[in-house]
Amino acid sequence: MDQEPLDRGNAGRSDRADARRDDRGDIPPDARPDPSAAGAVPRAEPVVITATDVAGSRFVSGTGTAPDPGRQAAVVAQAESTLPMVVQSLYAQRLSSVELRSGAAGDRFFALTDDRGRDLTLRLDAVPLPSGTVARTHVNTTSDQHVVQLSDRMDPRQVGRALSHEVGELLAVRDRAARAAAGDPEVAGVAPNRQDVLARGGLGSAERRLSLTEEDLGRVGELNYLAARMNDATLDAGQRAESRGELSALVDHLGLRPRVPADSGHYAPELQAADVRRDIVDPHLTPAAAGALRELAVPVERLGAADAVELREFRARAEHARPIGASVGAPVMPGLRPDGSPLPREELAAAATRAAEQRTRAGAATLDQLRAEIATTGEWPARRVVVGGGASLVGRDPEALLVDARGRWHLDPGEGIVQSPDQTRDMRANGMGDAHQFADPTARVPRDAVRLWEDQLAVRGPVVDGTAALLPGQDGRLYTHIRPADGSPDLYVKVEGTPTVATGLPPEMVPGVDRRDAVDLPEALDAVRGQLPAGSPAHARLTGEVGAERALQVLREEGVLDGLRSDGGARAALQTLDATARWERARAAAPGRVFIGDEIAEGRFDARAASAEGAPKTWLVAGAGGTGVANAEIILEADPEARVTIYGPNLPPALENQVQFTALRERFVSEYGGDGRLTIDIHPDNRVGAVQMSLGPDGKPRFREGRVEADAYVASLGRTAPMPEALRGLSEGTRAGGGQVRGDLMFDRDRQYLGYGVTFEAGGRQHRVEVTGAASQLLPRDVFPRDTQAALTAMAVRQVPSQSGNAAPGFAPVAEQTARLAEARARGTVERHASVPESWGRPAVAGSTASGGAANPVANAARLQSGRRTASPGGGVPGSVPVPRAPRPPQPPRPGR
C-alpha cells in the first residue's frame, strides 16, 4: 500500500504513473529550506513529517519532530489485535489457525494455515515509510515467511484497513506462485498482468477479459473491510458514517463510478468503464460490499444528499492536491522494447549480448569524444561524475559521466542473483526492471536479466568502461583519474558538482585478523608505525607499501618485534600482521588453491585447472554467509567432481529465506535428497582463525578447520570497512596535508537512508563526495564511530527484514535506495545527519530486543597514523597532487608556410 495518490478513500497502492500528492502542505518545494545546501548536519529527526490525511490514513500532525516514542508500539499493538479479526471476517475461507507466537529471540509473529493446508508466518512492524506509503508487504513465496511494515506515522485506527489490503495482496501473490509451480499455463512462463483494473481511466469493452492484479485484489480487501464497518452495529453512528464516507471516496478513486457530469460527452465512456470494473470485481466482494457498491457506486447525482455532499468535498480536496510527479527515470524501463512491450524470455540471452555490445560501443564513443575535446582545447574536460554501477544505475544522472568496470554480475559465473521475482517484485516500481518478465515467481532472477538492465541503464548517458579514482589537483580542483578497461591511455576529468561513488561492497577480510581495531593490513601497519619512534630505522623501513611477511621480518631484524608483542597497544595490529603473513605464505605455496570469496564470485579462478599437484577436488569454504554459499555453488557447478564443505558457527537468518540456498541444499546436500557433494558443517563452537596449511603425506598442501581437511581454501568471513578504493588516495592525501575528513549520513525527509557523504578539507578548500548503494552500508572505520555503524546495521535489519530474502546491500534494496536518492536530489530534499534517526533503532514493541539507534554525533576517528601519510608535495594545496598536463592541441601552420 505504498503509493496513495489521493486524499481519503484510497489506502491501496496505485500505479506509479498516478499523480502523487505532496502531503507536506502548501509550501512550494523551491521555497522550503534545504539543510544540506546550508552545510548543516542536524542531529534531530527529519524536519518534515506528513501532516495531511492521505487516502484515509490519518497521520500525526506537526513538523520538526518524529512520531512520539510510543507510536510505533501503538501501531504494532493495534495491528496485532486487529489482524485476527481481519482474517476471520474477510479471509476466513482462505486462512485459519491465526495464532500469535514468540520466537526464540523474542520476536513476535503470526502463524497461519491456508486453505491448502500450507503453513505461513506473518510478522508486523511499524517503521518509517515514505510519504504516501501507509503499508508495504515483503512477500516471500520461497520460505512462506512474510512481513507487513506499517507507517509509524499512521493513525492506529486505520490499521485494519491497511491490513485488509496487505493480506489480500499477499494471498494474491502466493496464489500466483502456487499456480506457476503447478504448471498452470495462464501464469507459468508469463509475467503478471501489470494493468490495474481498479484505477481511473477508460476501459474498452474488449478489456472485460482483464483479470484483477495483485494490487487490485488488495483494494478489494479494502472495499470489503470498509463495507463491513459501514454495517457494523457494534460501532457508533459516527464510526459507521466515517467508514461509509471512506468507502464512497475509494469507489470514486478506483473508477467504479463516473466522475464527470451526466451531460458531459465523457459521461458515457466513464459509465461504461465503471460498469466493466464492477463486473470484474463483483465475484470477489463480500455480500455486504456488493450491497454497498450497488448503493454507492452510482453517479453523484443519484447519491443521497449527505453522501453527495461528502463526495463533492472529497473531490474538491483531490482537485487541490498538487501532483508530485513520477520518480526520476527513463521513459522506457530496461527489459522493454522501445515501444514499451515486454521482451520475451526466449530473447533474453540475445538481448543481453546486444546490450553489452551497445555499451562497449558507447564506451568507446565516450572516450573518443573526451579525447577529441582534450585535443581541441588542450585542457582536461569538465564533467559531473559517477563512479561505479550495479543496481545503483537505476538512479544514475543521464548528464553525468559514468565510469564503471562492469564488475560483479558481469563477472559472476552463477545462475543469477539469490532472490526470486516475487522477492524483488517492487524493483519494477523503482525503474530497474520486471523480474517476472524473465523468470517464474519462485525461480531465481537470471544473471542475463541483471546484465541487460544494467547495460541498458548505463548507456542512458556518457559511459566509460574502466576504473576511476578521485584526487585533488594542485589547482584546487577535484579530478577523476580514469583508467579505461580497453588498455588505452589514462585520462583525467575535472569534476563538476558533487561526485557519486557506488562501487559496491568493500573487500572481504583475511581469516584471523583482528576484527575490531586492525581489520586489514593498512590499518595494522599504521598502528605498528604509530608505536615506533618517528625517526627510527624500523619506522623508515615500513614506509610505503609493505606486505605482512616483510613487515614482520623488518620488525624482527630491527629487534623491536618482541617488545611490540609484549606491548598491549600493538596486540591487535600484530594479530592482523601474523594472520596476513600466514595468508601470504599459503597463497604462495598453493597458487590457484587459496582464494578470497570475491575472487570465486567474480570468476577469477579455475576449479578444474591442471597443476603439478593435480586439480583440487575437495574445497573448504570458511564462512557460512551468503558469499560463502554462493562460492560453494559456483565451485560445484564448475567441477562436477568437486566436493565442498561450508564451515562456520551459524547460518544467517536470511539464507533460509532465499531461493539459492534452499535449491542448493536440495541439489547437493544428502540430508535434503542431494548428491552429497556439499557438506554444511555448522556448530556454535566452529571458529575460524588464521588459515591453517600443512603438507600432506604426498607433499601437497592441505587446509584444515576443525575436523575438515581439503585441497583448496576459500575465505568468506565478512568484509572490511575502509574508504572506498576510488576515494583512498583523496583521503590519505587530505590527511597527509594536515587536513580533515568528515562524514555524515544522508536521509530524505521520510527518514529513508540514501547513503553517506564525505567532506575532505585541506588548505581552506573542501571537496564533498557522496557514496550510495551497497558501499554505503559499511561506513569507513576511520571516519565514522562504531556506534554509528551499529545503528546503521540495526536500521538495515528493520528496513529490509531477513524474512524478505533480501538484505540492505542486495540488488533490489540498492535499486530502491538509489532511485530515492535521485528523487531527493531532484527535489532538493537530501538531508545530512550526524546519526541514524532515532526511530529506526526504537523497538516496535515494548520489551523487544531491537537495537537502539546511535545518538553520538559523527566524529573524525582518524586512526590513520603517519605511516601512510606522505609529505605534502611542494606547492599547491596541502595534500594535493600534480595532475599531468593535458596534451596541447596541434598548432595551425603559419601563413605562407
Name the one residue in this structure whose C-alpha cell is 460527452. Answer: 265
CA-CA distance, 791 to 833, in Å (whole number)?
13
Q: How confident is the model at residue 844 (pLDDT cuts 50, 70, 90)?
A: low
Question: What is the grid cell recorded at 324?
Answer: 508530485
What pLDDT is attached to residue 211?
85
Whether residue 332 is predicted with pLDDT greater than 80 in this model: the reply is no
Cβ(189)–Cβ(205) below 8 Å: no
CA-CA distance, 324 to 498, in Å (whole number)?
25
Q: Helix or strand or coil: residue 263?
A: coil
Cβ(429)–Cβ(184) below 8 Å: no
Whether residue 59 is predicted with pLDDT greater than 80 in this model: the reply is no
Whether residue 34 is predicted with pLDDT greater than 80 in this model: the reply is no
Question: What is the grid cell recorded at 795?
Answer: 536500521
Q: CA separation (Å) from 598 to 79, 450, 593? A: 42, 18, 14
Among 224, 248, 249, 60, which Cα is nearest to 157's? 60
Lowest mean pLDDT segment, chosen from 64-68, 273-277, 337-341, 530-534:
64-68
Name the one residue in this structure whose C-alpha cell is 557523504. Answer: 757
> What is the pLDDT averaged over residues 565-569?
84
Cβ(806)–Cβ(426) below 8 Å: no
Q: How confident is the model at residue 581 (pLDDT cuts 50, 70, 90)?
A: very high
What pLDDT is attached to residue 408?
73
What pLDDT is attached to residue 407?
74
Question: What is the grid cell recorded at 446?
Answer: 537470471
Lowest mean pLDDT segment, chosen from 575-584, 679-688, 852-861:
852-861
What pLDDT is attached to residue 567?
82
pLDDT tens, 110-141? 999 999 999 999 999 999 999 889 999 999 99
Please enumerate in sequence order all residues whose Cβ is within 8 A of that of 838, keeping only pairs 6 or more positions apart, or say none: 45, 66, 853, 855
C-alpha neighbours within 13 Å on the C-beta side of residue 98: 19
Q: Considering only residues 848 and 555, tell me which one the structure prediction assigns the higher pLDDT.
A: 555
What pLDDT is attached to residue 28?
28
What pLDDT is attached to residue 888?
59
What pLDDT is attached to residue 324?
37
DSSP designation for 889:
P
Q: CA separation (Å) from 497 to 177, 223, 458, 732, 766? A: 46, 49, 20, 22, 12
Among 390, 370, 389, 388, which Cα is nearest to 380's? 370
Return the CA Rg of the chain: 30
Question: What is the grid cell recorded at 812?
Answer: 533490489
Whether residue 15 is predicted with pLDDT greater than 80 in this model: the reply is no
Name the one residue in this structure whose C-alpha cell is 558469499. Answer: 627
What pLDDT is attached to residue 410?
73
In the chain, the percentage of residues whose pLDDT exceeds 90 is 66
**Measured between alpha carbons, how far apart are the two ends of the chain, in Å?**
76
Parallel, antiparallel, or unpaired for β 108-114 and 95-102? antiparallel
Whether residue 64 is predicted with pLDDT greater than 60 in this model: the reply is no
Please enumerate in sequence order all residues whose Cβ is within 8 A of that of 866, keeping only pairs 6 or more positions apart, or say none: 529, 530, 534
pLDDT tens, 71-95? 899 999 999 999 999 999 999 999 9
Whether residue 450 is predicted with pLDDT greater than 80 in this model: the reply is yes
What pLDDT is attached to residue 827?
93
Q: How confident is the model at residue 189 (pLDDT cuts 50, 70, 90)?
A: confident
> What is the pLDDT averaged over residues 400-420?
85
> What is the pLDDT averaged over residues 212-232?
96
Q: How confident is the model at residue 879 (pLDDT cuts 50, 70, 90)?
A: low
Is the sign of the CA dihedral 349, 352, 356, 357 positive or negative? Answer: positive
Residue 186 CB neighbours (<10 A): 10
CA-CA distance, 470 to 467, in Å (whole number)?
10
Q: How confident is the model at residue 337 (pLDDT cuts 50, 70, 90)?
A: confident
Q: Helix or strand or coil: residue 688?
A: coil
Q: How confident is the model at residue 878 (pLDDT cuts 50, 70, 90)?
A: low
Please enumerate in sequence order all residues whose Cβ is within 8 A of that of 11, keeping only pairs 6 or more positions apart, or say none: 1, 4, 55, 56, 57, 134, 135, 158, 161, 162, 165, 222, 250
Whether residue 398 is predicted with pLDDT greater than 90 in this model: the reply is yes
pLDDT tens, 511-538? 999 988 878 898 899 899 989 998 899 9
Lowest mean pLDDT segment, chosen from 486-500, 506-520, 685-699, 848-862:
848-862
Question: What is the grid cell recorded at 645?
Answer: 564443505
Residue 316 CB neighbours (<10 A): 10
What pLDDT is attached to residue 312?
92
Beta bridge partners of 806: none
Cβ(297)–Cβ(255) below 8 Å: no
> What is the pLDDT averaged over residues 167-175?
97
Whether residue 858 is predicted with pLDDT greater than 90 in this model: the reply is no
Among 14, 8, 102, 12, which Cα is nearest to 59's? 8
Residue 415 CB neighbours (<10 A): 18
Among 579, 707, 689, 721, which Cα is nearest to 623's? 689
Lowest mean pLDDT segment, chosen from 12-21, 204-213, 443-452:
12-21
b/e for 253-276, b at 16 or more Cβ within 10 A? bbbbbbbeeeeeeeeeebbebbbb
What pLDDT is attached to residue 19?
29
Average pLDDT, the chain: 84
What pLDDT is attached to residue 486?
94
pLDDT tens, 272-328? 999 999 999 999 999 999 999 999 999 999 999 999 999 999 888 876 554 433 444
In this structure, which amino acid lies at residue 641? E
In this structure, which amino acid lies at residue 251? V
Q: How confident is the model at residue 862 (pLDDT cuts 50, 70, 90)?
A: very low
Per DSSP, helices labelled H in 531-602 are: 537-541, 548-557, 561-566, 571-589, 597-601
What pLDDT is attached to residue 515?
87
CA-CA distance, 98 to 281, in Å (whole number)?
27
Residue 104 CB neighbours (<10 A): 5
CA-CA distance, 600 to 615, in Å (whole number)?
16
What pLDDT is attached to residue 608?
67
